[in-house]
């Protein structure tokens, strides 16, 4: 689960990290009051969307010469003028795709006098099986370019899970970021704070880009992107409350209500599969035969007819879906339950695209009989290969 920058900063502030003062607003009327709560004379008006690259982003409605999604203002009036221009408009950044995201919320923040912009993130490094800091002196808006062109400027510091951030780790991070004087002592206390926040709240990513050294020599968290491990949310009611469903894919929200593991993708073939491994294999074989999957969907081991019906409806509601492949290996899952779910769903929502069903395993004969007797236009397949070929051919 992702949250907004202003929420991430609240969370980090709770652990003692240095963040700027700021006020989140959702209407132009609130802009002046928000700015007046800040010390000034420099303000920053920041679009709150679940995507990065806002500074270099462009508003669709405003044309190519207008300013981006993060704007400096030298007075309260200027901050209000920016808020007026930004709220309600669609911001397109490297991460939003061409459709962009509507900016429904702004964060008006105290402007900082920046000396240097650094990069810092915490992530789960699978290669070493540890949480690791990734840092670079080349922070700011183009870390992707740094990673591509000068990867030696990015330093990785894995953290021992038992010891946590040791003094040696913190020193290594300070050295990598070339921190001196007060910034160095700020760093020595900040790194353990960030690690604690990451672990305590079950984050899967914490990215601060930029972490800045200010002209007064102190460190400040200037941007913050945080993702949480969805499987651990049950023990963090405070984090769950930060969820903003308007930023999420509507189909994924619907799927989560039915406890379906669903991820929306860009292709044309909708997939309904049981088991994550089989779902991955199904996506691979669709690609092998030249098409792209429209989604990943694992209906799970103990799916009911109701769950299968919900899954089918979510797939057919996607306008990109030009064909559907149901691929079930009935182990715990019974094929007749799947067949009933498919039939119920098709009767409910209709079937406007080709449907190929491959069933194998427990109660397969019963399942096939249900599909046969339904009178629906369903193509049966014998195995995974046959199924993929048939759906790719049907979509054309
Ligand atoms: P994004 O990464 O989505 O572009 P950031 O929050 O990193 O958004 O902001 C982009 C740039 O705007 C920063 O790299 C920094 O130069 C500037 N900026 C952001 N917040 C402030 C602030 N409070 N004071 C001064 N400059 C800021
Ligand atoms: Mg940033």
List, in sequence order, the alpha helices (H) in 210-349: 237-240, 250-257, 276-288, 305-316, 335-349
392: its two tokens: 């790719």
Domain count, the chain: 3
Residues 105 and 146 in one domain: no
Residues 274 and 386 in one domain: yes
At 307 the pLDDT is 85
- 293 CA distance to ligand 2 middle (Å): 32
153: its two tokens: 């400027």
Q: Give the model confidence (pLDDT) of 48-77 as tens digits.
A: 999 999 999 999 999 889 999 999 999 999
What are the φ/ψ torsions at residue 64 (nearest 5 degrees)? -70, -20
Q: Among 179, 209, 239, where does a domain finish?
A: 239
Q: Is 111 touching ligand 1 by the criterion CB < 6 Å?
A: yes
Residues 257 and 379 in one domain: yes
5 labelled as ligand-binding? no
Eight-class DSSP state of 153: G
pLDDT band at 118 (very low <50, low <70, confident <90, very high): very high
What are the φ/ψ torsions at residue 369 (nearest 5 degrees)? -65, -40
Q: Is 112 touching ligand 1 by the criterion CB < 6 Å?
A: yes
Q: Which residues contact 46 (CB under 8 A, 6 or more apart)?
A: 5, 6, 54, 69, 70, 71, 106, 107, 108, 109
- 117 CA distance to ligand 1 middle (Å): 9
Ligand nearest to the CA of 56: 1
Cα–Cα separations (whole angstroms), residue 68 to 86, 97, 302: 9, 16, 48
Measured from the Cα of 223, ligand 1's closest atom is 6
At 61 the pLDDT is 95
167 labelled as ligand-binding? no
Q: How far is residue 315's CA from residue 170's CA, in Å, rounded to a whole number?
A: 48
Residue 223, pLDDT above cutoff 90: yes
Q: Are 48 and 6 within 8 A, CB to CB?
A: yes
Residue 47, pLDDT above cutoff 80: yes
At 143 the pLDDT is 86
Residues 89 and 160 in one domain: no
Q: Are 164 and 91 within 8 A, CB to CB?
A: no
Mean pLDDT of 323-344: 88
**Pocket residue to mutate for ligand 1, from 222, 224, 225, 226, most atoms within 8 A of Cβ:** 222
Eight-class DSSP state of 302: T
**Pocket residue to mutate for ligand 1, from 24, 34, 45, 210, most atoms within 8 A of Cβ:** 210
Q: Among 208, 239, 270, where does a domain finish?
A: 239
At 254 the pLDDT is 86
List, in sequence order, the alpha helices (H) in 289-334: 305-316
Judged by average pLDDT, the poorest of 211-220, 268-277, 343-352 is: 343-352
pLDDT band at 199 (very low <50, low <70, confident <90, very high): very high
Mean pLDDT of 184-197: 98
Question: Which structural domain range is residue 58 located in?
Answer: 21-110
Structural domain contains residue 2: no
Q: Are 375 and 348 within 8 A, CB to CB?
A: no
Q: Among 193, 216, 239, where does a domain finish?
A: 239
At 159 the pLDDT is 98
């Amino acid at each position: 689960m992702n949250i907004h920058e202003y929420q991430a900063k609240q969370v980090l502030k709770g652990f003692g990290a240095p963040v700027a003062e700021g006020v989140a607003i959702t209407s132009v009327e609130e802009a002046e009051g928000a700015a007046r709560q800040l010390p000034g004379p420099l303000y920053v008006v920041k679009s709150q969307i679940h995507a990065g690259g806002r500074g270099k982003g462009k508003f669709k409605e405003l044309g190519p010469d207008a300013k981006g999604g993060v704007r400096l203002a030298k007075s309260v009036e200027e901050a209000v003028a920016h808020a007026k221009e930004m709220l309600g408009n669609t911001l397109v950044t490297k991460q939003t795709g061409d459709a962009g995201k509507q900016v429904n919320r702004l964060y008006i923040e105290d402007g900082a006098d920046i000396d240097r912009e650094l990069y810092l993130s915490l992530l789960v490094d699978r290669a070493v099986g540890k949480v690791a800091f990734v840092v670079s002196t080349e922070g700011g808006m183009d870390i992707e370019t740094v990673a591509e062109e000068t990867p030696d400027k990015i330093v990785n510091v894995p953290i021992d899970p038992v010891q946590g951030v040791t003094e040696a780790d913190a020193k290594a991070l300070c050295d990598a970021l070339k921190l001196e004087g007060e910034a160095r002592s700020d760093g020595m206390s900040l790194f353990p704070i960030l690690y604690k926040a990451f672990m305590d709240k079950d984050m899967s990513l914490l990215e601060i880009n930029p972490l800045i050294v200010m002209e007064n020599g102190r460190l400040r968290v200037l941007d913050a992107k945080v993702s949480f491990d969805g499987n651990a949310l049950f023990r963090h009611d405070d984090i769950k409350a930060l969820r903003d469903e308007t930023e999420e894919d509507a189909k994924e929200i619907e799927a989560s209500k039915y406890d379906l593991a669903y991820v929306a993708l860009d292709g044309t073939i909708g997939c309904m599969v049981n088991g994550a491994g089989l779902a991955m294999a199904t996506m691979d074989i669709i690609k092998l035969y030249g098409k792209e999957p429209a989604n990943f969907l694992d209906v799970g081991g103990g799916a009911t007819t109701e769950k299968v019906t919900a899954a089918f409806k979510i797939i057919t509601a996607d306008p990109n879906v030009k064909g559907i492949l149901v691929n079930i290996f009935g182990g715990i899952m019974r094929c007749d339950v799947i067949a009933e779910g498919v039939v119920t769903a098709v009767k409910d929502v209709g079937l406007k695209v080709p449907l190929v069903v491959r069933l194998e395993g427990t109660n397969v004969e019963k399942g096939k009989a249900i599909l046969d007797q339904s009178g629906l236009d369903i193509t049966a397949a014998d195995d995974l290969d046959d199924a993929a070929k048939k759906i790719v051919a049907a979509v054309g």
